[in-house]
């Protein structure tokens, strides 16, 4: 939940009701959430509610190729992979090499019919080198880089392809005077998207805010 000096995106009661009436994460995801506590940065993790949205959208899109920008411990990766087609590939980018053990344990052997590849390094440097056309992208790394990520990957997104950009309400700070540099980066991104005629989008007040973007067919 956001700090109380910022507006609640959803009331705690509504959030609890929504969670109660939504399908739950599986045991592997619960274990990973628990295990991620050793990083002392568990706020980074998508968590069960957003994770179910990632899984749902991925199952709806049924992608052959997914790009995740910001792996952390792989929670979102596992959720996104639930909808990946057999034979499909998910590329996930992470700059923090200390998180590699999570990839080795959780992701590298996800299932022989699905390929998960982690690339370590700065996402903005890696994206131009990716020789894929993506059906689904989850943007969840450096908040001030969102617009840059978007521009770098746009031509690699297939027409009709989907981008989900996380944290775009920045704990509600985007509607206050108390918005920091990261929040300003997210506001610029949201502004850029709503004015981009090449896409449709809807900014959803789910969790910390998800900008759901679809590249138009023509
Ligand atoms: C919010 S966490 C990702 C959470 C994950 N997607 C999930 O669903 O649980 C953001 C991650 O992005 C990584 N990151 C931040 N800046 C980055 C950059 N410039 N390039 C690649 N990864 C970056 C951080 O190290 C962190 O692990």
Domain ranges of the chain: 58-215
Give the bridge partners for 57, in sequence order. none
Mean per-residue pLDDT over the chain, rounded: 92
Of these ranges, 17-21, 99-103, 107-111, 133-137, the one predicted with the greatest mean pLDDT is 133-137
**pLDDT over 90 for what percent of the chain?**
77
Q: State whether the beta carbon of 92 lies less than 6 angstroms from ligand 1.
A: no
Beta strands 134-139 and 89-94: pairing type?
unpaired
Express each pLDDT in 127-181 by its tens digit: 999 999 999 999 999 999 999 999 999 999 999 999 999 999 999 999 998 899 9
Q: State whether the beta carbon of 67 lies less than 6 angstroms from ligand 1.
A: no
* Cα 31 to Cα 2: distance, rounded to the nearest angstrom: 24
Whether residue 214 contacts residue 14, with contact meaning beta carbons closer than 8 Å, is answered with no
Reported pTM: 0.95
Q: How many CB atoms are located within 10 Å of the residue 52 CB?
A: 19
Q: State whether the beta carbon of 46 lies less than 6 angstroms from ligand 1.
A: yes
CATH level 2 (architecture), domain 58-215? 3-Layer(aba) Sandwich (3.40)
């Amino acid at each position: 939940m956001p700090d109380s000096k910022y507006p609640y995106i959803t009331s705690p009661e509504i959030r609890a009701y929504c969670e109660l009436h939504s399908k739950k994460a599986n045991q592997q995801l619960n274990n990973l959430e628990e295990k991620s506590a050793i990083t002392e940065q568990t706020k980074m993790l998508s968590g069960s509610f957003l994770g179910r949205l990632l899984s749902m959208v991925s199952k709806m899109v049924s992608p052959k190729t997914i790009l995740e920008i910001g792996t952390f411990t792989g929670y979102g990766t596992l959720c996104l992979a639930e909808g990946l087609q057999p034979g499909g590939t998910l590329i996930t980018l992470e700059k923090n090499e200390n998180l590699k053990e999570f990839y080795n344990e959780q992701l590298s052997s996800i299932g022989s019919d699905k390929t998960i590849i982690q690339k370590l390094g700065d996402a903005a440097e890696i994206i131009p080198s990716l020789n894929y056309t993506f059906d689904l992208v989850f943007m969840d790394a450096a908040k001030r880089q969102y617009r840059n990520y978007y521009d770098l990957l746009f031509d690699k997104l297939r027409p009709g392809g989907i981008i989900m950009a996380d944290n775009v309400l920045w704990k509600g700070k985007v509607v206050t005077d108390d918005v920091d540099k990261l929040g300003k980066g997210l506001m610029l991104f949201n502004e850029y998207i709503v004015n981009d005629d090449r896409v449709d989008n809807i900014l959803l007040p789910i969790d910390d805010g998800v900008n759901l973007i679809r590249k138009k067919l023509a």
